[in-house]
Structure 1
C-alpha cells in the first residue's frame, strides 16, 4: 500500500482515499463562470444531509473555504488553505483529536486533498495581487469538481422540503376541518358515528421528524377520515330531516316553480346559483364579455338561505332585503381583507368555484371567523376549501344549514293527538 504524509497520524489507512481525492483534484479547472465560493459553500451545506455528512464535517469545510480568496477558485491556481490544527481547534471549538478525526473524514469523503510539505507543515504565501505562489495544506479542488453534484442534491432537497411544508400545512387544515365537523355533529346530538374517536384521531400527536413518505401516508389517512366524517354528517343530517317531528314542525321542501310569497325563505331557482341563463349568455355574447359564470357544482343554494344563515353579511350590504348575487359578491370582496384573505386567495377561489359559489364559501368563512372558529389563517381555510372543490368534496349546503341553526333555540317536539285526547 502506498503512503502519503498528511500530518494527521496513521497515513496508511488514508492512502486509497488520498489517491482518489488527488485524481478528482486533477480534473479541477475552476468553478463555472458566475459561481462564487459562497455559492459553492451554500450548495454543499444544503446537500450535506443527503450525503450523510454531520455538522462537524460541515463546519470544518466552512472554515477552510472561508480562509480562501475568490481568485483561488478561478482555475489559475488550486484553492488551498493552510490553517494549523491549533487554529482549527480554536475556530471549531473542538479538541485536537476531534479535529484530526474530522480531517480524516473530509479526506475519506473526497472533499479535500492533503498537500503537505516535506516536513508535514502547512504554509503558503501570495504575490502582490493576492494569487497563491506556493502553498501546502488543504487542497479544496475536489469541492469545485463536485459542484454539479452538490447543486443537484441541493435542488432535490429544496424540492423535498417544499413538499414536506405542503403536506404539513394540508395536514393541519384537514385535522382542523375534522374537528369542526365532529364538534358540530356532537352539538346537534348525532349518534350515528364515533365522533369522539374521530376527534381523538385528529388530535393525535404526529411524529416529531416524519419523512416525506410518512407525511404522504398521514395525508392519505386523514383525507380518508375527513371523507368518512363528511359522509357520516350528511347521512345523519338527512336522517334528522326525514324523522317525523309532529304537526307543528315544517317540512324541508325544495323550491317549486310556483311564484314565491313574502314568507317563503328558500325559493331561489337553481339557474341563479350555478348555471347562467340563456338570456345572460346571449347578453354576454352581445357585450363581448369573456367572463361567464360556469356550472361548478350540483348543489342548489338559494341566495335567501345564504343571507339567513350568515347575518354577518348585513354589515357589508347596503340593503339586505333586496340584495342580489352581485351584491353578495361585492360584500364578501370587502369582507375578505378584514379576515386577512389576500387577493390571490380570493382569485383562486373564484377560479376554482365560480364567482357566486366562491362568494358563498367566503360567507361561511366570514361566519366562522366572526364566531372565533377560525383564529389563525382565514386565507388558508379558504384555500383548503378550493382544494376540496377541485376533487368534488366541498359541500356548502350542510354548512349553511348548520350556520342557520347555530343561534336558533331548540324546537320543542309536539306529538300528534290521538282521537280520544284533547
Structure 2
C-alpha cells in the first residue's frame, strides 16, 4: 500500500502541534511490532482516565477495532479502517450522530487514532487490479501498535494505584471499628483511662474524612488513627496483664478500680439507692397506688424539658425521638453500654427512655448516673419500680417554681418565684393522682 499523504483534518477542524506529535509517535513504531488488538484495548480501558478517554469514546474504539479483519495488529500491515458513520453507529449500539462525532474527536485528541481524511472528507479505500488496497482514507490504528507498551505500563500503574487505595480504605475502616469497640470495652470493663479524651480525639479525626478522598489523604488519616489505636491497645493490654482472669475469661472477683475522674463508678449501688427521691417505702406505696396506664409523652417532656436540648430543633414528637435523645444523653451521663442495654431489656425501650430522661433532668443531684440506673433496673426486676414517682416528683418541683439546670450551664426556661406553665393534660393528670 502507498503511504498516505493526508495528515491534516478535513473541513473546519484545525491542525495542531499535538496532532503532529502524535503522528510522529505513530511513525516511531518498531517495524516488526505485533500486538493483540483486544489486549491493547483492555489496557486502554484500564488507563482511560489517565489518557482522558471517555466510556463512549471507548465504545467507538471497540467498534473501529471490529472493522479490522485481523486479531493481530502488525506495524507493516494495513492499519486504516474506513467505516461510514452509519456503520459505526450500528456497531456502537445506536449512538446518535452528534455523539459519535464528538467522541471520535476525543479519540483523536487522546492520540488513540489518527485521521486520514480524503480530499472530500469521505472514508473509502482504492484497490488495485489484484484486489490489494492502494490507498485508504479513514482512521489509522497505528498508535495502538506504537504505544502498546506505554498503554500496558499505564494500566499496571492504574491497577497498582487502585490496589493501594483499596488497602488504605480497608485499613482505615478496620482501625475505626477497632477503636470504637476498644473504647466500649474499656468503659464496660471499667478500665482506668481518660476514655472521654479518646472519644474526642477519635471523633476529631473521623470528622476530617471527606465523602470522597484521595489515597494520600486516607493514608495520612490512617496514620493518625493507628497512633490512637496503639495508645488504646497498649492501655487495654497493660490492664489485662494486671488482672487474674479465669481460663474461661470470667471475672474471679478481682477489684477493678476506675481512676477516670470524668466517669463515676457504677458499682456504688448503695449511694445510688440513697439518692432515690422519696425513699423505698414511699416509692413502694406510690407504685401500688399509681394507675397501670402508660405515661403520655407530653407529660414526660413537661417533666424532663432538658431532653429537648439534645435534639436538633428541639422537636420530640414520638417515643422513638425520645429514645434517640436518650441514646445521646447516655454517654454524657457516663452510663456504660451494658447498663443501658440491661435497662432496655428489663424496662423496655419506652420506660428505659423515660427513666434516663428523668436521670438526665436531675443529673446535678446524682453522683453516679450509671449506678443509679442499675439500681432502678434491679428494682424493676422485682416489680418494685415505676417511672411514675420519678416523673411526678419532677413535675411537682416544676410547678412549685423550681429552676431546672440545663446541660453546660445554659439558661433555664423557668425562674424561681414565678409560676411555671403546665399543659392541660399535665394538670388533669396531677389532679387524678391519688393522695
- When normalised by structure 1's length, the TM-score is 0.49
Bigger CA radius of gyration: 2
